[in-house]
Structure 1
Amino acid sequence: MRLEFFVSSSGNMLYLDFVGAKDHLLGVVLKIPSANFKQHIVLVLRPDLQLTLQTSLAADKLHEKGSGNVAQGYFIAPKSKRGQDDDYFSSASSRKGKGSGIVNIKLPYSGSAAGMSFEVTGIEHKEFLSICECKIKIDQVRLLEDVSNAAFSMTVQQLLDLKAKGNKYPPALDPIADLKLKDMVLVEAYLKWHSILQKMSENKCHGCGKLEEHMLLLEEINKHREEVKALKFQMSDEALQQMPDFQGRIDVLKEIGCIDSDLVVQIKGRVACEMNSGEELISTECLFENQLEDLEPEEAVALMSALVFQQKNTSDPSLTPKLAQAKKRLYYTAIRLGKLQEHFKLQINPEEYAEDNLKFGLVEVVYEWAKGTPFADICELTDVPEGLIVRTIVRLDETCREFRNAAAIMGNSALHKKMETASNAIKRDIVFAASLYITGV
């Protein structure tokens, strides 16, 4: 927040940064920096603070020295009594006696006077933003040394009187004529800043006694608005980074009948939702094309192993004519689905799609295992490691369960029974033992 100040050394007002305030605050400089204290000591009106008066003096006193050439605390003197070098101010100490320069209050010092809270604190000179034309009388000795409540009341009342005149943001000195600024970029920024201040002063909100409360409420409202905006964006089409890909997949699902034109999920789509262990589209098409209907349970579960087996490079299996025909049929189904996705602008190569999702390396092994062949014998049929064979057969049992659930959705009792028989055929012996660690007596 910005803070407005009268600078007592020149009688002019300043804008400063002030941490903790929600609005521009009015204040006056009581003492300029010295060799021992490098900050400006200022008194600022703080309507945002509670009306409490600090009565105890500081135990540790700050010893300040005057600048030597310029006295602290100035008031406006009659023009006839001013010298040429004292065009804007004259020293308060010339009338009231020179003070010792000692600060007898502990900073920050807060209190209340004339019905208004105030705070006396130190401000760095780099926090000054601009110098204004207004002037005010102060009594530095009674404010910082003797600590007179009457002096505080008089100072606060002068600030309140100025504020009551509507000078919320008093005019600033001209950056070129008065401040002798040469940098046009700086001058433009200076003028723009004060133009914004004048617009702010015309806003009725800055005269509201509940400004801080309303600011907090507005911050909360804006926070919730941003949350709503973020949620709306997440639900919008713009949030989908792969929108063309998404639309292409929707078109594919429509084409194969998983959803209708209104995006309502059909029975085929419900079946596809059951397929988790293998590629959903290939598994669903396999079921709806009845590719397992003419196969025995052992042959069906062997063909299904292509959906869950992971290893690409294996020895070629030796298949029966019936299994070879089923393999070819399933492969062509995958190619057809790959071409369909390619047609709807998906980045898919049909051959790669089929090869990545169908691996027939364990079809012969699973077929023999389902027929009851010992595990040691089926391991001789392939170069696939034993552990991978076990893992594939275990996963294949989960695939049988998924196909069984899909058959129930389709109302295909024959397929349901076949999948149950296939599951029982592979669920035996060492593959489904509780532990693979066997010890002898």
Structure 2
Amino acid sequence: MINPLDIFEITSKVIKIDPQRILADWDKRQMPRFKDSPIGESCKNAIQELLHMTISLGGENRGEIGVRYLDFIEDLRVDDALLYTKIKQLNCQKELLLDHITCVQMPNFEDQFASVFRKRSLEEKKRELMINLLKELKYVDHQNQITMKGRVACGMGMNELIITELVFKNTLRDLQPAEVAALLSCLVFQAQTKKELAEFTLTAKLKEGINKIREVHSKILSLELKYQISNDLGREEELNFGLVEVVYNWASEKPFAEIMELTDVQEGIIVRCIQQLYETISDVRGGAMTVGDPELQSKMEEASRIIKRDIVFAASLYTQREAYFI
């Protein structure tokens, strides 16, 4: 059975073949004992004719062999007004497409096309799996409509899932603004420190918050493995609590020189981390506005205020020079 999508063009050339013999030859070679048998004469002749016509149609001498593509409007006499309009549009788009497609002339085009097709198919499959994960977390419903959680996640600049889960689980509600800032630093700090987490001086709520964030992160990783979105078992290291103590003290309005004594991380890295943290806190504040949580929104505004001070947010000499020239 030939489907409409299998037909690219209809030509004026008619090839005389014996379809019954061709089908019989095909059916015979589907049997295990005849699978290596050479194709029959009727099938071979049909293939040669089609190959010859294909090569001829691709060359400049198409008209010399009396072969042309039939026009749906002129040759097939389409008289339906709507179909006539659609065919006209299709012909214009096809000509425009063929004028710009040069990739078909590249060597090994079929192999390259197959490779790209496989890649795109895998990407589409991954997209479907990600949607299934979002459905389980209730970011989209069964009709693929975005839910409230989904709208909150869309407003996040990074770490969308984990931040949204923290908002909806009220993980940050009972914390002080300085504690919120300290815990969220685990999402933006990427450097390494020689100090172990056990060496930090942390409040009981900070320790509890670290455990809750790890639980949320672990759940997300488990779902990604379940839906085969990720097979990276080492992603637990994405959470980096190496600056929790530093950020907590900075948010508690301790001098920068004093917090530098708490860590072996370079000054520039700390400054950059706190600046990125400010953006993350702004995302959480936006999420609180979306869900209508004024208490969390107020807490995020306070967290933003207490970390945005002094040398960390002072314009650098480089920035000042750039601003001068602008």
1:434 matched to 2:302: no
| Distance change (3 Å), C-alpha of 1:237 and 1:261 | farther
Distance 2:154 2:133 in 1: 15
Query: Which is bigger in relative contact order (C-alpha 8 A, separation at least 6)?
Result: 2
Q: Report deviation, 1:335.
A: 0.6
| Distance change (3 Å), C-alpha of 1:199 and 1:345 | same
Secondary structure of the corresponding residue to residue 242 of structure 1: helix
Distance 1:377 1:241 in 2: 51
Distance 1:281 1:248 in 2: 15
Query: 1:309 matched to which residue of 2?
Result: 189
Q: Report deviation, 1:413.
A: 0.5
Query: 1:285 matched to which residue of 2?
Result: 165
| Distance change (3 Å), C-alpha of 1:225 and 1:367 | same
Q: Report deviation, 1:227.
A: 8.3
TM-score, structure 1 length as denominator?
A: 0.46
Give matches, 1:119-198, under 5 Å.
none
Q: How many residues end up aligned between the 2 structures?
A: 226
RMSD: 3.4
1:223 matched to 2:106: no
Query: 1:254 matched to which residue of 2?
Result: 135
Distance 2:93 2:163 in 1: 50
Deviations 1:313-345 (A, max 9, x none): 442241222101100110111011100111112
Larger gyration radius, structure 1 or structure 2? 1
Query: 1:104 matched to which residue of 2?
Result: none
Of residues 309, 329, 335 in structure 1, which corresponds to 2:218?
335
On the 8 A contact 1:297/1:418 being kept in 2, the answer is: yes
Query: 1:376 matched to which residue of 2?
Result: 257
Query: 1:267 matched to which residue of 2?
Result: 148
Secondary structure of the corresponding residue to residue 131 of structure 2: helix
| Distance change (3 Å), C-alpha of 1:434 and 1:244 | same
Distance 2:268 2:67 in 1: 77
Distance 2:307 2:144 in 1: 39
On the 8 A contact 1:334/1:353 being kept in 2, the answer is: no
Of residues 292, 295, 306 in structure 2, which corresponds to 1:411?
292
Q: Report deviation, 1:435.
A: 2.8
| Distance change (3 Å), C-alpha of 1:380 and 1:257 | same
Which stretches in structure 1 are left out of the alignment for 5+ residues?
Answer: 1-187, 206-217
Of residues 301, 321, 324 in structure 2, which corresponds to 1:420?
301
Query: 1:320 matched to which residue of 2?
Result: 203
- Identical-pair percentage: 40
1:344 matched to 2:227: yes
Which stretches in structure 2 are left out of the alignment for 5+ residues?
Answer: 1-47, 70-89, 102-112, 319-326
Distance 2:180 2:68 in 1: 81
Distance 1:263 1:237 in 2: 25
Determine which structure has the larger strand proportion and give its number. Answer: 1
Secondary structure of the corresponding residue to residue 332 of structure 1: helix
Secondary structure of the corresponding residue to residue 348 of structure 1: coil
Query: 2:109 matched to which residue of 1?
Result: none
| Distance change (3 Å), C-alpha of 1:219 and 1:296 | closer
Q: Report deviation, 1:346.
A: 2.0
Give matches, 1:33-52, under 5 Å.
none
| Distance change (3 Å), C-alpha of 1:428 and 1:225 | closer
Q: Report deviation, 1:312.
A: 3.8
